[in-house]
């Protein structure tokens, strides 16, 4: 049966809405943070991917979050995605979301309120009747500022079924157009989620007029399975993140749900707008921005997802790929031709390669990236796609960082105290630093602290090769902590010390973003 929705018009019953919360729930992961330019770049990528709703942030959380929501809201026209802002069920949150979303051509106010006995008693300190009243008043306020209002029952999967039905009925009567039941702590099994949504569909008056939504966390590793079960039980909006990032063990992975729908149309005969060939590009962009690599065996976008080492498997794949591959690598954005450019390649060939890899860059960004590519080609015998991606991500994705590495010289050797000298640009000003250390990397990090004083704890330093060979680029990952806040940074270069400095500076930029954030006041009765 078709549904008439304020943001999407008449929707067929087999249409799945993809709601992406990478920029909100995903960014709440420990160590994950993005500045405004990075969020805008991710929002562009999500729109190109075909996401229907982008949850741009939690507008009341900080001035930075408000600016992010407002900037993303301003970015898309009526043919672009719906832009949503999360708020708790109180007037201040809702009005802040409404203000941030004013520039949006298509907007949604997303209201969340806990409904489980545990959360009501311990966190909200409210009675069930107070929660019911607040559901009604908050949704009604949201509808005064947006035709599209989503209401979410936090910890809904552990809520009393009868009370959950009463809350959903109250939200619908007050004007909610989407009803979301999150498995907030990742406790449920697939049969639990299916039962919850079947129960709502059978018991709640007016449920046929709204879109049902599922938001599943992955604490028991079942977020995608729970999402698929919810779809089979009547859910038509799924909430997910790129690479499955999010609080604790993360959320349902968008790429896994999308490819399950595409690959198993026999069991899941539903349509959606996701352009699957752009999944890998979007995944890699997020990994670069956040500094968190995808694990090699990650479904769909891990580098081993289509690799075959077993002799039996290799033999079968060579004869017919479908023997061991249920989808093609190309269907999600992998390419078989990874050998690319050399030192004699020109700017036009470089631009064409960037386009093939999914990058659209302006002339200034192209010039900067091309200059670094020529430098890399002089140092490497063979330049691969992975090399190009690593250097372009450094030049383009991080082009708006507050702290930039300008120069680095390190003197070291056997029996010699390592000494590093470097130059940084901090908010447009030149800063020089010099320091010694226990090794070349330690001296470099000390020099950065000398140029831009700060006090952090280094929690992780890891090096891996982007490609093979002794001339391969090193990719360095750095994790640092300040006042309980974790951030990760990445950098790549054929010189491991330079890559280390890039990674440290990347992490430092993320820390500057996190310093500006403060938690909003608690919601209580």
Q: Which residues are annotated as a binding site for Mn(2+)?
A: 25, 215, 217, 251
Q: CA–CA separation, 30 vs 291, rounded Å?
A: 12
Sign of the Cα torsion 25, 26, 32, 38 reads negative
Which structure tokens are listed for 258? 């999308």
Strand partners, 152: 112, 180
Helix or strand (DSSP H, E) at 81: none
Q: CA–CA separation, 398 vs 79, rounded Å?
A: 28
In 293-362, which residue ranges form alpha helices assigned H by DSSP? 311-319, 347-356
Q: CA–CA separation, 194 vs 231, rounded Å?
A: 8
Q: What is the CA radius of gyration of the chain?
A: 24
3-state secondary structure of 289: helix
Question: Is beta strand 211-216 parallel, antiparallel or unpaired with respect to 237-240?
Answer: parallel
Which structure tokens are listed for 225? 């399975």
Taking CA atoms, 117 is separated from 134, 153, 156, 213, 326, in Å, by 16, 12, 10, 21, 43
Closest CA to 475 of 243, 284, 248: 284
Q: CA–CA separation, 375 vs 497, rounded Å?
A: 16
Residue with tokens 């999360």: 86
Strand partners, 53: 19, 82
In 204-278, which residue ranges form alpha helices assigned H by DSSP? 223-232, 254-263
In 343-484, which residue ranges form alpha helices assigned H by DSSP? 347-356, 363-379, 385-392, 440-451
Q: What are the backbone angles phi and psi of residue 188, rounded to the nearest 5°? A: -80, 160
Which structure tokens are listed for 525? 């009765």
Q: Roughly how many angstroms between the first and final C-alpha of the chain, as a whole number? A: 40
Closest CA to 455 of 445, 464, 463: 445
Closest CA to 300 of 322, 347, 265, 333: 333
Annotated binding-site residue numbers: 25, 215, 217, 251
Per the rule left: phi > 0, alpha: psi between -120 and 50, beta: everything else, 413 is left
Closest CA to 436 of 446, 448, 423: 446
| DSSP 8-state assignment for residue 79 | T
């Amino acid at each position: 049966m078709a549904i008439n929705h304020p943001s999407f018009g008449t929707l067929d019953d087999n249409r799945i809405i993809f709601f992406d919360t990478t920029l909100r729930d995903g960014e709440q992961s420990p160590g994950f943070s993005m500045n405004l330019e990075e969020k805008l770049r991710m929002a562009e990528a999500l729109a190109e991917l075909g996401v229907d709703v982008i949850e741009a942030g939690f507008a009341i959380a900080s001035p930075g979050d408000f600016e992010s929501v407002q900037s993303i809201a301003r970015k898309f026209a009526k043919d672009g995605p719906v832009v949503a802002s999360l708020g708790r069920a109180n007037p201040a949150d809702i009005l802040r979301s409404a203000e941030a979303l004013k520039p949006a051509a298509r907007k949604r106010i997303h209201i969340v309120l806990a409904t489980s006995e545990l959360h009501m008693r311990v966190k909200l300190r409210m009675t069930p009747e107070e929660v019911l009243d607040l559901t009604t008043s908050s949704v009604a306020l949201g509808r005064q500022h947006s035709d599209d209002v989503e209401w979410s029952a936090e910890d809904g999967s552990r809520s009393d079924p009868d009370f959950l039905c009463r809350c959903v009925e109250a939200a619908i009567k007050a004007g909610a157009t989407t009803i979301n039941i999150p498995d907030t702590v990742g406790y449920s099994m697939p049969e639990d989620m299916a039962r919850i949504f079947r129960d709502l569909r059978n018991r709640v008056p007016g449920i046929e007029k709204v879109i049902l939504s599922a938001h599943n966390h992955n604490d028991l590793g079942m977020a995608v399975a729970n999402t698929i079960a919810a779809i089979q039980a009547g859910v038509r909006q799924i909430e997910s993140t790129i690479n499955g990032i999010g609080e604790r063990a993360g959320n349902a992975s968008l790429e896994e749900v999308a490819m399950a729908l595409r690959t198993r149309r026999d069991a899941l005969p539903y349509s959606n707008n996701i352009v699957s060939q752009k999944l890998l590009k979007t995944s890699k962009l997020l990994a670069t921005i956040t500094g968190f690599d995808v694990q090699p065996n990650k479904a769909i976008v891990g580098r081993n997802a289509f690799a075959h080492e077993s002799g039996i498997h290799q033999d079968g794949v060579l004869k017919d790929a479908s023997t061991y591959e249920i989808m093609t690598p190309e269907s999600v954005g992998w390419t078989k031709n990874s050998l690319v450019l050399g030192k004699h390649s020109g700017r036009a060939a470089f631009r064409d390669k960037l386009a093939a890899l999914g990058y659209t860059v302006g002339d200034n960004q192209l010039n900067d990236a091309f200059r670094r590519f020529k430098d890399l080609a002089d140092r490497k015998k063979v330049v691969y796609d992975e090399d190009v991606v690593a250097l372009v991500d450094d030049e383009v994705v991080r082009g708006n960082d507050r702290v930039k590495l300008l120069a680095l010289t390190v003197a070291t050797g056997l029996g010699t105290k390592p000494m590093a000298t470097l130059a940084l640009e901090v908010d447009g000003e030149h800063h020089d630093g010099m320091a010694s250390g226990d090794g070349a990397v330690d001296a470099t990090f000390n020099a950065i602290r000398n140029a831009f004083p700060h006090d952090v704890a280094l929690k992780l330093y890891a090096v891996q090769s982007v490609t093979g060979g002794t001339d391969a680029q090193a990719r360095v990952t750095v994790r640092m902590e300040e006042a309980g806040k974790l951030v990760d940074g990445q950098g790549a270069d054929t010189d491991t010390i330079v890559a280390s400095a890039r990674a440290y500076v990347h992490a430092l930029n993320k820390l500057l973003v996190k310093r500006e954030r403060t938690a909003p006041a608690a919601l209580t009765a």
